[in-house]
Structure 1
Amino acid sequence: MKSLRNYSIPFTGLALGKHHFEFDVDDAFFDEFEYSLVKKADLKCRVEMEKQETMMILDFHITGTIGATCDKCLSQYPHELDVHEQQIAKFSDEAIDEDDEIIALGKNEHEIVLAGLIYEYINVAVPFIASCGDEGNTPYCDKEMLDKLNDLSANNEQDENPDPRWDALKKIK
């Protein structure tokens, strides 16, 4: 958790207005999260913070690559990310119903920790189905695996004898 301290912004001494911050998000960042979907990364996180009297508006722009595994050929490949998100942090001693859009900061707090937000934004941007691109035509694609999959699927189609019960069910339509 020590390395996550680098992903915070001390805001108490900052003047009102816009301020820019930049963070490197790499493998060490994701090592701090035990069950992370992402293990390897080379990302830049740029944060534009607009400090106002009663709140701060944080605009995140995360770009770079993460290490992903292709769901089809199982090869490792770099997946490009370009994430734009916004978060609002409000200064308040009262209990605010925290939701995904507003973070409550007490009057005694002097910094905002962004590690959880950055981690969440990156993991949400990870594709549900990862593909290394144009099948068989990228330098990352495992052509041996694709050939084996094609052979197996061709064999399954040839060996498959239709079950007569399915024919009876198709007649119901």
Structure 2
Amino acid sequence: MKSLKTYSIPFTGLKLGKHLFEYAITDAFFEELEYSLVKKADLLCKVELDKQETMLILNFDIAGTIGLNCDKCLSQYPQQVAIHERQIAKFGEEEIDEDEEIITLKKNDFEINVAGLIYEYVTVSVPFFARCSDEGNTPYCDKEMLGQFNKFASGDSETNNEQHDPRWDALKKFK
């Protein structure tokens, strides 16, 4: 978790206006997070912090590739991502309702850690059904694995060619 400290932005010393921060998001970032869906990544995260009198406006631009496993052929492939998100952090003592998705910063807070936000945005960008291609049209889809799946689905596997057990015939008579 110590490496995630590098994603903290100390905002107390910053002047009012816009400030740009860049982070390289690699495999090491996701290794720090125990149950992450993403294990491999090569991302560049640009955070534009707009400091105002009563709030911080954080604009995230995250681009690059994440490594996913295809749900169809089980091979690993790089998934392109381009994420553009905005987060507002207000200065105040009262907690704002979570439905408004606004972070509340207390007067004792002097920095904001964006690691959790980056993780959330990348995780949400993972497709529900990860597919590297359709029917092996790209070099990533494993045609040999698709052939094995089709072989087992059609019933041509070696396991179906084993000796027929006569006990099952006796049970089929009870239908």
Structure 1 residue 107 displacement after superposition: 1.0
Give me the whole-angstrom Cα distance separating, in 1, the residues matched to 2:41 and 2:34: 15
State the distance in 2 between where 1:76 and 1:89 align: 37
| Equivalent position of 1:64 in the other structure | 64
Deviation at 1:51, TM superposition (A): 0.6
Is contact 1:19-1:50 (8 Å) kept?
yes
Which of 75-84 and 93-102 deviates more? Answer: 93-102
Total equivalences in the alignment? 157
List per-residue Cα deviations over 1:103-123 (Å, max 9, x = no partner).
Answer: 000111111000001001100
Shift of 1:101: 2.0
| 8 A Cα contact 1:26 1:41, kept in partner | yes
Contact 1:67–1:78 under 8 Å retained in 2: yes
After TM superposition, the score normalised by the length of structure 1 is 0.85
Give the CA deviation at 1:100. 5.7
Could you give the per-residue CA deviations for residues 113-143 of structure 1, whole angstroms, max 9, x where no partner exists?
0000100110010011000124212222111
Same amino acid, percent of matched pairs = 67
CA shift at 1:94, angstroms? 2.5
- Pairing of 1:1-173 with structure 2 (within 5 A): 1-99=1-99, 101-155=101-155
Give how far 1:148 is off.
Answer: 1.8
With 37-46 and 99-108 compared, the bigger mean Cα shift is at 99-108
Change (3 A) 1:141 1:83: same
Q: 1:139 & 1:91 partners in 2: Cα distance?
A: 51
| Inter-partner Cα distance in structure 2 for 1:95 and 1:36 | 28
Superposition RMSD in Å: 1.6
Structure 1 Cα separation of the partners of residues 102 and 38 of structure 2: 26
Q: CA deviation at 1:43?
A: 0.5
Secondary structure of the residue that 1:123 maps to in structure 2? Answer: helix
Q: Which segments of 5 or more consecutive residues in structure 2 lack a partner in the other structure?
A: 157-175
Aligned match of 2:171: none
Matches of 2:65 and 2:9, distance apart in 1 = 24
Which residue of the partner structure matches residue 160 of structure 1?
Answer: none
